[in-house]
């Protein structure tokens, strides 16, 4: 690709380019540290879960057929042959006309296929129990193997682990689990007007914000993040810093001061890195158009705009999903699965067709409705991001959204 060819991709084309990267290798994690990770392999159950059919209720284990048609008006009568200990299976088998006391979690005895809740029964003394309800077979019973069966897939590769999936692994006795590795992210800031946050800037200088904002975003996306601090904006320093960060990470996010010159320098430095291929010179997205991407084997270099709000919005819309994708989440770019809330937009928002606009909005409840108010302001300021609860998308084929229209607010 020629350096002077100004190659701006649509958001969809850019995401297609991101799909040319492969999700990361498998690593093993203890289940205590696996919440949020993506399973790298199918998990096969080594035993049935539950191991045996168990009661969901306190009551009596019965054969459902023996109380067929029973009701308040027309109860059935069974003989109780004893109570079942929760810790071990019953030593007896229920015969016709018999029942047995059982607690939640107790193992069903042979001859029983359902449990009647204690509320629907009355013990009449001398072992006789009145049953005032008919039951379907398996009612109030957790069946042997209902959660998982021996030799079958209990959790499929690609599953995102939540607390309940972690619970399933525990139930199966699995203490360590193969997951897709968390991406390692390196963050570099450049721009000669930047100073580190422990310095006192003079007029003309600003502290390095992006290193901190972008690291927090990367961690929210499940990555580990290392900030390499400030790099002088000259070709030699930038190339050396990129090569160093690239050697130690899967993805490098470089945010480029705020001047145009720095962007050209970034492109120049990337082109000097062995094996690096520059994918684009921009994306049809606002804010964030100057975004550039390079591929170096399966490692990625992102050149983000230096403006603090632009850098973070691009990170949120494209960078964080990319990190989740590398971490094994195949649906990471599907915004319909992101935390969001429908809201009514409080006023007209015009937009330039041909690019995706992400309008920062704050939300509030008003007269029982959720109302989103656009937060307008300059991308170099932090204020708009502080005031916003999230962003609303205006598609590339749209000239804007009208006051009162329903939009999805994607939450920061």
Q: Which residues inside 313-372 make contact with a second copy, applying CB under 8 A?
A: 336, 339-342, 365, 370
Site string for a second copy, 393-412 (x = CB under 8 A): ------------------xx
Residue whose CB is less far from a second copy, 147 or 272 = 147
Q: Which is closer to a second copy, CB of 9 or CB of 308? A: 308
301 and 238 in contact (C-beta within 8 Å)?
no
Token pair 């996010």 in the structure block, residue? 253
- Give least dist CB 175 to a second copy, A: 6
Q: Name the residue nearer to a second copy (CB basis): 205 or 236.
A: 205
Nearer to a second copy, 149 or 298 (CB): 149
Task: CB nearer to a second copy: give 157 or 273.
Answer: 157
Of 297, 299, 260, nearest to 282 by C-alpha is 260
Please check whether residue 303 is in contact with residue 254, taking contact to mean a CB–CB distance below 8 angstroms: yes
Nearest of 237, 241, 238, 230 to residue 205 by alpha carbon: 230
- Partner residues linked to 59 by β-bridges: 102, 117
Cβ within 8 Å of residue 366, ≥6 positions away: none
For residues 277 and 369, which CB has a smaller minimum distance to a second copy in the complex? 369
Distance in Å, CB of 44 to a second copy, minimum: 16
Torsion from C-alpha of 309, 312, 315, 316, nearest 10 degrees: -100
CB of 265 to a second copy, least distance (A): 13
In the complex, least distance from residue 297 CB atom to a second copy, rounded to whole angstroms: 28
The answer to whether residue 142 forms part of the interface with a second copy (CB under 8 A) is: yes
| Encoded tokens for 375 | 């937060």
257-286: contacts with a second copy (CB under 8 A): 257-261
Hey, which residues between 113 and 132 contact a second copy (CB under 8 A)?
none
Site size with a second copy, rule: CB under 8 A: 92
Alpha carbon distances (Å) from 118 to 87, 130, 268: 20, 10, 78
CB atoms within 10 A of CB 368: 5
| 8 A C-beta contact, residue 346 and residue 372 | yes
Residue number with CB closer to a second copy (106 or 186): 106
**In the bound complex, what is the minimum distance in angstroms from residue 22's beta carbon to a second copy?**
27
Helical H runs in 291-334? Answer: 308-314, 320-326
The helix-helix angle for 260-272 and 235-248 (nearest 10°) equals: 60
Strand boundaries in 65-113, DSSP class E: 76-83, 98-102
Q: How far is the CB of 197 from a second copy (least distance, A)?
A: 5
Dist CA 125 CA 8 (whole Å): 84
Tell which residue, 279, 227, 232, has the closest CA to residue 253: 227
Site residues for a second copy, 74-103, by CB under 8 A, read 85-89, 103
- Candidates 24, 67, 116, 169: give the one binding a second copy (CB under 8 A): 169
Q: Which of 4, 126, 173, 397 binds a second copy (CB under 8 A)?
A: 173
State the minimum distance, in angstroms, from the CB of residue 340 to a second copy.
Answer: 6
* By the rule CB under 8 A, 247 interacts with a second copy: no
Of 171 and 405, nearer to a second copy (C-beta) is 171
DSSP 379: T
- Pick between residue 80 and residue 213 the one whose CB is nearest to a second copy: 213
Using CB under 8 A as the binding rule, whether residue 54 contacts a second copy is answered as: yes
In the list 3, 7, 28, 52, the residue contacting a second copy (rule: CB under 8 A) is: 52
Q: Which of 212, 289, 298, 344 binds a second copy (CB under 8 A)?
A: 212
Q: Which of residues 8-27 bind a second copy (CB under 8 A)?
A: none
CA distance 24 to 329: 11
- Choice from 10, 26, 104, 244 touching a second copy (CB under 8 A): 104
Taking the C-alpha atoms of residue 360 and residue 396, their distance in angstroms, rounded to an integer, is: 17
Q: 108: closest CA among 175, 61, 167, 168?
A: 61
Q: Which residues ranging from 291 to 310 are in contact with a second copy (CB under 8 A)? A: 306-308
- Which residues from 185-204 bind a second copy, rule CB under 8 A? 191-193, 197-204
Helices (H) and strands (E) in the chain, counts: 8, 30
């Amino acid at each position: 690709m020629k350096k002077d060819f100004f190659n701006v991709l649509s958001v969809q084309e850019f995401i297609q380019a991101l799909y040319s990267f492969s999700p990361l290798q498998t690593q093993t994690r203890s289940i205590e540290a696996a919440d949020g990770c993506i399973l790298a392999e199918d998990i096969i159950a080594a035993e049935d879960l539950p191991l045996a059919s168990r009661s969901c209720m306190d009551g009596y284990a019965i054969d459902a057929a023996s109380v067929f048609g029973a009701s308040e008006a027309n109860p059935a009568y069974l003989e109780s042959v004893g109570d079942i200990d929760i810790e071990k299976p019953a030593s007896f088998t229920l015969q016709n006309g018999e029942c047995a006391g059982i607690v939640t979690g107790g193992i069903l005895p042979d001859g029983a296929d359902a449990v009647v809740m204690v509320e629907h029964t009355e013990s009449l003394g001398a072992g006789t129990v009145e049953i005032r309800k008919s039951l379907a077979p398996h009612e109030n019973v957790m069946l042997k193997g209902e959660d998982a069966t021996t030799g079958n897939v209990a959790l499929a590769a690609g599953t995102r682990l939540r607390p309940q999936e972690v619970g399933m692994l525990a139930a199966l006795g699995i203490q360590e689990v193969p997951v897709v590795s968390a991406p390692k992210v390196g963050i570099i800031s450049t721009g000669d007007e930047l100073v580190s946050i422990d310095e006192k800037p003079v007029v003309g200088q600003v502290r390095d914000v992006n290193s901190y904002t972008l690291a927090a975003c990367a961690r929210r996306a499940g990555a580990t993040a290392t900030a390499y601090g400030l790099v002088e904006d000259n070709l030699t320093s930038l190339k050396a810093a990129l090569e160093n960060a690239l050697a130690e990470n899967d993805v490098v996010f470089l945010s480029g001061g705020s001047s145009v010159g720095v962007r050209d320098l970034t492109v120049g430095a990337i082109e000097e890195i062995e094996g690096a291929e520059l994918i684009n010179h921009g994306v049809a997205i606002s804010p964030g158009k100057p975004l550039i991407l390079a591929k170096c084997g399966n490692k990625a270099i992102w050149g983000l705009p230096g403006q603090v709000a632009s850098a973070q919005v691009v990170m949120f819309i494209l960078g964080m999903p990319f990190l989740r994708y590398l971490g094994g989440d195949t649906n990471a770019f599907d915004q319909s699965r992101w935390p969001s809330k429908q809201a009514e937009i409080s006023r007209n928002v015009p937009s330039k067709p041909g690019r995706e606009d992400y309008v920062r909005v704050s939300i509030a409840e008003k007269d029982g409705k959720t109302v989103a108010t656009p937060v307008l302001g300059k991308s170099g300021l932090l204020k708009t991001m502080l005031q916003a609860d999230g962003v609303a998308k205006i598609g590339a084929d749209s000239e804007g959204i009208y006051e009162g229209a329903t939009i999805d607010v994607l939450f920061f």
